[in-house]
Amino acid sequence: MAAARTHSSVGSQAWFGLTLALAALAAALMLWSEAGADEVPHDGPELVRLSEINEGALLIRTVEHGQYLPAPMVATELDFTINGPVIRATVTQRFENPTDAWVEAIYVFPMPEDSGVDRLRMQIGDRFIEGEIQERQQARRTYEAARRNGQRASLVEQERPNMFTTSVANIGPGETIIIQIEYQDVARFADGRFQFRQPLGLTPRYVPQGRDYQLAATGARGNRAVPDAHRITPPLLDPAAEPTDQLRLPVAITARLDAGFALGEIASLHHATLVERRDDGTARITLADGPVPANRDFVLTWRPEDPDTPSAALFVEEWEGETYLLAQVLPPAEMGADTPRRARETVFVIDNSGSMAGASMRQARAALITALQRLEPEDRFNVIRFDNTMEQVFPTAVDATPQAVARALAFTRRLDADGGTVMLPALNAALRDPNPEDAERVRQVVFLTDGAIGNEAELFAAIERNLGRSRLFPVGIGSAPNTYFMNRAARLGRGTFTGIGQVSDVEERMDALFTALERPVMTNLDALFPEGALSEIWPAPLPDLYHGEPVTLTARLSGRDGVMIIEGEMADEAWRETLSLAEARPGRGIAALFARNRIRALEEARFQGARQVDIDAAILETALDFDLVSRLTSLVAVDVTPARPDGIPLASRDVPAMAPDGWDFGRVREAEAAPVQRADIAAGHLAYRSAPASGGQAADSNGLALPATATPRELLMGLGGLLMLFALIWLMTRREERLW
């Protein structure tokens, strides 16, 4: 019996040893696999310590304690040529490699939502390589093959309509590679002035993770709501570590303006500019103080010298044997001015999540206070605030009595920014209409937010599903709001988008918004062309218009004979405008704008129930036909001559983005330590580092830790190997004892 017990004990120990060995082997293999996936080899690029840095630098933390990799620097030049409302933009990005290693740089950057990106050029020394449009997966394969072969290559991909990624492979030690992107856009006209917005700042997105939301740190894991989270989450620079003697991501801007009429006021809303007016009626605009940091949108506006100048503008382009038209027509401002004000039911939604901390929260509070003070006794209203929780001032909308308004004002003044951005419940609550048959009041939802989310598709679907008779009016808060979300939400919600860039803008912008809300809407808009002249028009149908907005459309025509008629209804008045097609001015890039509008309309069709496979087929065909970057196509450029020698490793680096101007990084750091149910910034994902106290040493400038910083892989691999060896020796010893 004793022998039997001993045998059983030895057998159990043997099985335990075998299990331990297998576990250690699995752990070692897993760690080896993860280390292999990390393309920064530890015996390749030269590492530096903070004490060795004597100037501002972008540093990427490595698994070697206290050692860092200098990251590629990116300088950007923006050049705009504006003819009428048509804008041709050239974006030049200079990728500088300050290291002794061969590197790949990956840079996520913002663009105007409706921009049609149609050209890519890569410059290496005196040589230029033109990019070509390819289906997205094919372009990625082309780029990866060049990357492996040591060829210099560049790839431009769309992550969102207002967010793009440039990847540049095989930048040699100390080398600079220049990437040039061109796109087409159109200026917006409202309240008597034209406006063009070029995003510079990139607001970090919040990504849902099950029931919790978290700030999308570098390489955030994807899920059903945001499957591409890792592609829209670049590292974020800590503003406190910004060197005082240089800019990390400098942007230079030049614009040439030929409006087609005598120019009045020309202004930049957020940057100091120099305006040089020419004798031929054109103007040249440059930054007054040189390059600026990439942390605040550049917004340029211009007005006609004569306010009575006709606002109708027609432009045409002949491209590939067809005629493309851009029309922008403003209805009379006085139309419907005497119409009595209709009573309204307005639900105000305010975002008080952590990303709104600082200037954004002050702007949002001021905007909501201004709106509440404009309510009339016959109106009804409610206020909803959200972070990763939600709260309503009243269970449902109430009459705008002095007592109710005072209660809402007190609630608003106490609001502070904290927690995560869980927007969907608040949006659904605001769109919930207890009186869908009420014809006496206009129902409006005013949504104040920076739009710092990654799950836009979920919200668009909710708007389409729950809109009913409500109209949605997003108000973009902050220096770099997510305008893609704002504009598309406004179109789906049949409302308008208003941007507020700083506290001083609040009164003017909210006054313009409520002037529009209180005036009648122009409905039943239609564009009429000669029989057989029109092939296609976008948007289709034309949207409702609010006070001060123009009718803007693009069309493909078979010819330029005859006239175009635009007509609509406002209150009890009919409106009609007749324009000669033959008198349309020639323009460049109208075909690209037409294609971009077509793609945008196709993307939005999925929220109306269209099949995704049909939408994708139409988008792919359009993008390839017009050479445009889209969700399904990319631009790729490859140098045919290999540059990186065989056997030399390639280090892959994400280029950090700047935090939007006005962000309260201290509040973000506090939110990191908060409980998950309150703060949506998961512990371990956010690494905040302040500037050095003295000695001139650069702080770790990568505000969000890269995935490579998660574990000391070499140490764990070594421990795994030792455990495996120990377990095997122990197992063999026990086996010999048992046999003996």
Residue 65 pLDDT:
61
What would the pLDDT profile of 533-584 be if each residue is shown by its tens digit?
Answer: 999 999 888 888 888 788 889 999 998 889 999 998 887 788 899 999 999 9
Q: Which residues contact 554 (CB under 8 A, 6 or more apart)?
A: 324, 325, 326, 327, 537, 538, 590, 593, 594, 597
**Whether the Cβ atoms of residue 194 and residue 85 lie closer than 8 Å to each other:** yes
The candidate with the shortest Cα–Cα distance to 320, out of 592, 726, 61, is 592
From CA 271, how far away is CA 300, in angstroms rounded?
9
Residue 674 pLDDT:
36
Instruction: Name the pTM for this structure.
Output: 0.71
Residue 703 pLDDT:
29
The candidate with the shortest Cα–Cα distance to 681, out of 354, 303, 343, is 354
Could you give the angle at the alpha carbon of 682 between the alpha carbons of 677 and 686, nearest 5°?
Answer: 145
Strands 250-258 and 283-287: antiparallel
Give the end-to-end CA distance of the chain in Å, rounded to a whole number. 18
Would you give the DSSP letter of residue 582?
A: G
Beta strand ranges found along 172-282 (DSSP E): 176-186, 188-190, 193-198, 206-209, 212-215, 250-258, 263-268, 273-277
Residue 241 pLDDT:
54
Residue 579 pLDDT:
92
Mean pLDDT by 10 residues, the chain (740 residues): 43 52 52 40 50 48 55 85 92 87 84 88 91 96 96 93 88 91 89 87 61 43 59 58 61 94 92 94 95 89 80 86 90 71 90 86 91 93 94 95 97 90 92 88 92 86 93 86 88 89 79 82 90 90 84 91 90 86 89 94 85 95 96 95 89 66 55 32 26 31 30 53 66 53
> Which residues partner with 314 through β-bridges?
327
What would the pLDDT profile of 303-359 be if each residue is shown by its tens digit?
Answer: 988 876 656 788 999 999 899 999 988 777 676 667 777 789 999 999 998 888 888
User: Structural domains in the chain?
Assistant: 69-304+629-654 (2.60.40.1730), 313-332+522-626 (2.60.40), 344-518 (3.40.50.410)
